[in-house]
Amino acid sequence: MEKIDTKTKMIHAAIDLFHRHGVNATSIDQILESSGTGKSQFSHYFKNKEGLVHAALIYLHDVIRSGKAQTGYEINSWKEMDYWFQSFIDFQRSVNFERSCPIGTIGNDVTDNQESLRAAIAEFLLWSRGRLALFFDERKRAGELLKQVNPEALADFCIAIMQGGMLLTKMNRNSDMFENAASQAQAYIQSLRVKIKRKN
């Protein structure tokens, strides 16, 4: 088994606690206790809580971008696109509907004067939007989407449904509203696809 270094231990503990309770409700002492590390190590690696939150965001982005997360943005077929919303619902089922998007949860606690954290979250949202938009653009170029479709706007629509759906699921402790919204989103996307005529 690969040994996890002290810095990564603290980041793992912070992500878990931020994801469960939010940034504001999580103390440095809780992170240190959960990771089995000390204050001097924390000060050495992160200086302050904002530094740790920033490191957690970068780590989450790297995990998602590398495809190691349970949910992701590597979509190469309509089948994978159809499953995209479901992957987030399945994740929330696996945690008993007690968590939503980790980056969204952190973002909810970012204040107006924490521009570096806001920028890190914006960077992730821009990347995730770009991944979905790339898929839709490729399908449009292949003649599988109507010409009037805006790939970036469609990507924004999907991300908004996903983020809102995950929050509703966490609040309600069930996925009914998210599933209903996802079903409507999938039907809308289906309506934008070009119907291919089969040859007799």
Domains and CATH numbers, the chain: 6-192 (1.10.357.10)
Tell me the whole-structure pTM to 2 decimals: 0.90
pLDDT value at position 159? Answer: 97
Q: Which two tokens stand for residue 46?
A: 């992160």
| pLDDT tens digit sequence for 5-44 | 999 999 999 999 999 999 999 999 999 999 999 999 999 9
Non-local CB neighbours of 21 within 8 Å, separated by 6+ positions: none
Mean pLDDT by runs of 10 across the 200 residues of the chain is 79 96 95 95 94 96 89 92 95 95 94 94 96 97 97 98 96 97 98 75
d(CA 113, CA 153): 29
d(CA 98, CA 177): 15
Q: Which residue has the tokens 């570096």?
A: 116
